[in-house]
Structure 1
Amino acid sequence: MALFEDPIPHEPSSGNQPEFTVSELSGAVKRVIEGEFGLVRVRGEVGRVSRPSSGHLYFDLKDGQAVLAAIAWKGQATRLRQPPEEGLEVVATGRLTTFPGQSKYQMIVEDLALAGAGALMAMLEKRKAQLQAEGLFDPARKKPIPYLPRVIGVVTSPSGAVIRDILHRLRDRFPRPVLIWPVAVQGANCAAEVAAAIRGFNALPEGGPIPRPDVLIVARGGGSIEDLWGFNEEAVVRAAAESRIPLISAVGHETDTTLIDFAADLRAPTPTAAAELAVPVRLDLVATLDGFSARQSQALAAAMRRRDERLRDLTRALPRPEALVQAPAQRLDLVSGRLAQALATRIARARGRFDPAAALLRPRILADLSRRLQDRLAERGRSLDATQDRRAERARDRLAALSARLDGGLARLVTGAARDVARARADLAALDARREAAQASRLARLSDRLDALDRMRTTLGPTETLKRGFAIVRGDGHVVTGKGAAERATALEIEFHDGRLSLAPKPPRRKGGGEAAQGSLF
């Protein structure tokens, strides 16, 4: 095959070779390259990566000897399975073309995939070191998992066996309400949907129509490193680290490890183990509570026993009541015996003081003293009469002057007093009417209560009780309440509501067909 199919010669040259323009030669090279390499897969290491504002991706594919320029147009760049990162070994699928403006050939990339597990692990370690350096894996920022969450949020695929295992384990251990956020757990959309689900659960308001979970479980079954790669994406790791709700990572089997395991607050080896870590065993809680209740009862009983023993010990330490009153009783007897002698001594001493004074009080001395006192009293009476007459005269003069001044005021005072008396009488009449009404109402209530009590007394009395079918049994004149007392009585009397019935005892029968010493009354 010729390199140039339809050359268009121009001015003939001195030789046999035709001449071409630059555009003609570039177009011919472009057709040849695109025709020979219409679809190729190239393996190499990603070199320089450029992301201009246009949205296109420009990067290099290189190995030890050569470099190939690669382009992913804006529409295709968003659909790449693996975004290009410098130092990553990838397999690029696309077509070769040329760029005449720079006289170079390049590859238009339509798909980009990791070259193998070695490259994946190298990129994973690089990304892990970068995120760890930012502090996203710091144990100090991890939140404790609530002991008994009210609501559990699960981020997983709704059609897989993982969600069934989680729900089954929760029902067995401690049933709790579960909110499921369905996501793709592998493929190109996995990382974006998982990150959006984590942030969506955190965006739920407290007390809203949809309850906000107390703990999140991000779960997926086992698979290859490519299947689990979505959980190694930076968006998922950052969403897990930013989550304000405690998060449990349960991605893959026990031997699988993804970057979300390091950012989560707790890693579970399997989705079933995540359900076990999220809730306790209800029966264990019931047994623990029963144990605490039994221990509490035992502790209370032991405390009561110790207090009772302490009280008994203190009681034995107290003296007997007789010992407490013996000494005061003895002192009382001693004082009582001395009281009679003290009274006699006091009377004798008073009589000794009275007798000398009584010897001086003779009848003549008393008569002279009485006469002198009468003369003094008569003189003071005359003086008092004169003084009283003068004071009475002055008082009459002052009274006349005051009477003249008080006639007008007295009339006004009497008029005002009459009005006050009339008003007081009206108030008194109203109060008297209220008193009579209150007294009548109280008497009516008391009468109703008395009637009710009388009806209750009648209902509960023996007469009404006998009418309801009861009877009173008397033996030898006393009320009998038991069989033994009835058997010991010599005569019984039964009282019904309409009369009494007397029962005479039967004659006793002897042994062997004769009358016995003690027989039944019936």
Structure 2
Amino acid sequence: MDNIGNDDSLSNVAEYSVSEISLALKRTVEDAFGHVRVRGEISGYRGPHASGHCYFALKDERARIEAVIWRSAFSRLKFPPQEGLEVVATGRLTTYPGSSKYQIVIESLEPAGAGALMALLEERKRKLAAEGLFVEERKKPLPFMPRVIGVVTSPTGAVIRDIIHRITDRFPVHVLVWPVRVQGETTGEEVAAAVSGFNALPADGPIARPDVLIVARGGGSLEDLWGFNDEAVVRAVAASTIPVISAVGHETDWTLIDLAADRRAPTPTGAAEMAVPVKADLEAGLARLSARLKAAISRDLERRRQHARTLSRAIPSADQLLALPRRRFDEAAARLSRALQMATHAKRLRLDGLRISITTLDRRLAEARRQLTQCGERLPLVYRGLLRNRRARLDRDAARVSPRAAQERIRLHRRRLEEARIRADRAVRQRLEAARAASEQTMRFVKLLSYEGVLERGFALVRDTEGTPLKRAREVRPGQALRLQFADGSANAIASGKPAGTASERKPSKAPQEPGKQGSLF
């Protein structure tokens, strides 16, 4: 009878299918947690899925919850999710009946605090600075008078109107606007594409290539300006061949694009003032310079005119200059006629005094024959003397280049070469010994000054789980996992209680430690 009663009681329990149970749980969870804010660390983030949705998890030190961001909500996020970033997610809890899991559908996402976002910003800043993207040597000077200015900003905001209005007031030039979103997930990609697009324009193409670029946006919070801290934006600005002026936020705001740009303006209006000079000032300066030039030319002409008048008074007239040459010419003409007559008379007297006869010619011919005979007799003697001199010189040269002399010179050079080799080996050994001694001395100094030497004296180095050294007690949080490095190895520890104060405030604890429980640093 008892068994029958038990069967009747079991048959009165309502039966549910798996789908009914799953739907009932889904309604219960969604009714109870229709709007929640969850704080945790992003884990397993791999970027948007092909469908545009994002799937990852939020976790802390004790639990984990699945998370999803639909494509429509992802486009409205102020900053993109990143692996390991601590965030506060706002959304609703629901279940996924297909795998009996519950998850949070995120509608908005914000960093767990400005400290987390600033830490991410500082880490990115250190990474890009290590690549040399912020050095002053990379920055280009701005053109004095650009013909075309490219502006990368939102086409509907007040920023572009302020820039165009300021440029029109100062120096009207052609302005090209590349419209982009200045807030949201796609800000970094669009701004980087705009800067690269302006640089890709040909110099002689149908669209004028800008001489200077202005990347501008109004003020806002760190989250609003986060798109201008994107790595793609910084690299595009650093690689730009066109000078770039950064005008993002107010004067107190700063982003990574400010460090990579060639100039940073406090406001968009200030960027317009940097880009172009004041036309009225240029015209006034040109007028002043023109007036000074005219006055200088007038003074120079008057000075030259006065100098010419002074020189003209010192120069004699043409009659005075030609008087003496004319007199000399007349005297030379008179002397020339007399000299011709006298020369003709002298030549005639000399010709009359010459008497040429056959006897005189025979005598001169006999004298020439005698001189020729003497030269012919002396020629063999001279030739033989020349041959003797050449033979003696040849014998001296042959004696100088004999095999015995050559062997002596070779032995001399070999001896000198061997002595040089011995000296070179000795010098190399001395240099090596000096270098080895210097290296050993340096290694002793390095070992003396390194922190391993401090650990050998009984000290320990405290690091967090990421390997960052902790220098102050206030940097340690209760429950934080620590790693202690000693001279002979490392050990793990967990910080508990409050950080220790000064040496006078710390008192030794006499409470015994529980067996099997890890010790505390504080």
Q: TM-score, normalised by structure 2?
A: 0.53
Seen in structure 2, the aligned counterparts of structure 1 residues 20 and 302 have a Cα distance that, compared at 3 Å, is: same
Contact 1:156 1:182 in 2 (8 A): yes
Deviations 1:157-190 (A, max 9, x none): 3443333322232222211122233444334554
Contact 2:43 2:83 in 1 (8 A): yes
Is 1:227–2:224 an aligned residue pair? Answer: yes
Aligned residue number for residue 217 of structure 1: 214
Is 1:153–2:146 an aligned residue pair? Answer: no
Counterpart mapping for 1:360-399 below 5 A = none
Q: Distance in 1 between matches of 2:130 and 2:111?
A: 25
Contact 1:46 1:88 in 2 (8 A): yes
Aligned residue number for residue 275 of structure 2: 278
Deviations 1:358-416 (A, max 9, x none): xxxxxxxxxxxxxxxxxxxxxxxxxxxxxxxxxxxxxxxxxxxxxxxxxxxxxxxxxxx
How many positions carry a matched residue from both structures? 344
- Candidates 101, 105, 110, aligned match of 1:108: 105
Seen in structure 2, the aligned counterparts of structure 1 residues 11 and 99 have a Cα distance that, compared at 3 Å, is: farther
Structure with bigger gyration radius: 1
Seen in structure 2, the aligned counterparts of structure 1 residues 135 and 57 have a Cα distance that, compared at 3 Å, is: farther
Seen in structure 2, the aligned counterparts of structure 1 residues 174 and 349 have a Cα distance that, compared at 3 Å, is: closer
- Candidates 324, 327, 331, aligned match of 1:326: 324
Letter in 2 for 1:143: K
Give how far 1:256 is off. 1.4
Contact 1:11 1:19 in 2 (8 A): no
Q: Over the residues paired in the alignment, what is the CA RMSD in angstroms?
A: 4.7
Give how far 1:156 is off. 2.7
Give how far 1:269 is off. 1.0
Q: Distance in 1 between matches of 2:49 and 2:15?
A: 41
Aligned residue number for residue 481 of structure 2: none
Contact 1:12 1:18 in 2 (8 A): no
Give how far 1:231 is off. 2.3
Q: Distance in 2 between matches of 1:36 and 1:106?
A: 14
Q: Distance in 2 between matches of 1:130 and 1:274?
A: 27
Give how far 1:42 is off. 0.8
Q: Distance in 1 between matches of 2:234 and 2:84?
A: 21
Which moves more between the two structures, 189-198 or 25-34? 25-34
Aligned residue number for residue 258 of structure 1: 255
Aligned residue number for residue 42 of structure 1: 38
SS in 2 for 1:50: coil
SS in 1 for 2:214: strand
Aligned residue number for residue 172 of structure 1: 169
Q: Distance in 2 between matches of 1:323 and 1:301?
A: 34
SS in 2 for 1:84: coil
Aligned residue number for residue 246 of structure 1: 243
Q: Distance in 2 between matches of 1:111 and 1:334?
A: 119
Contact 1:54 1:74 in 2 (8 A): no
Q: Distance in 2 between matches of 1:207 and 1:320?
A: 64
Q: Distance in 1 between matches of 2:39 and 2:339?
A: 138
Q: TM-score, normalised by structure 1?
A: 0.53
Contact 1:49 1:58 in 2 (8 A): yes
Which moves more between the two structures, 149-158 or 77-86? 77-86
Q: Distance in 1 between matches of 2:115 and 2:81?
A: 16
Counterpart mapping for 1:269-418 below 5 A = 269-294=266-291, 296-297=293-294, 305=303, 309=307, 322=320, 326=324, 329=327, 332-333=330-331, 336=334
Deviations 1:78-105 (A, max 9, x none): 5544321123232212333456787754
Contact 1:45 1:61 in 2 (8 A): yes
Give how far 1:328 is off. 7.2
Which moves more between the two structures, 248-257 or 136-145? 136-145
SS in 1 for 2:45: strand
Q: Distance in 2 between matches of 1:62 and 1:113?
A: 16
Q: Distance in 1 between matches of 2:134 and 2:187?
A: 22
Give how far 1:218 is off. 1.9
Q: Distance in 2 between matches of 1:79 and 1:349?
A: 126
SS in 2 for 1:49: coil
Is 1:133–2:130 an aligned residue pair? Answer: yes
Seen in structure 2, the aligned counterparts of structure 1 residues 221 and 316 have a Cα distance that, compared at 3 Å, is: same
Deviations 1:426-459 (A, max 9, x none): xxxxxxxxxxxxxxxxxxxxxxxxxxxxxxxxxx
Seen in structure 2, the aligned counterparts of structure 1 residues 320 and 103 have a Cα distance that, compared at 3 Å, is: same
Contact 1:155 1:216 in 2 (8 A): yes
Aligned residue number for residue 117 of structure 1: 114
Seen in structure 2, the aligned counterparts of structure 1 residues 119 and 315 have a Cα distance that, compared at 3 Å, is: farther
Letter in 2 for 1:47: S
Is 1:185–2:182 an aligned residue pair? Answer: yes
Q: Distance in 1 between matches of 2:257 and 2:350?
A: 120
Give how far 1:277 is off. 0.8
Q: Distance in 1 between matches of 2:173 and 2:307?
A: 49
Contact 2:192 2:236 in 1 (8 A): yes
Which moves more between the two structures, 309-318 or 55-64? 309-318
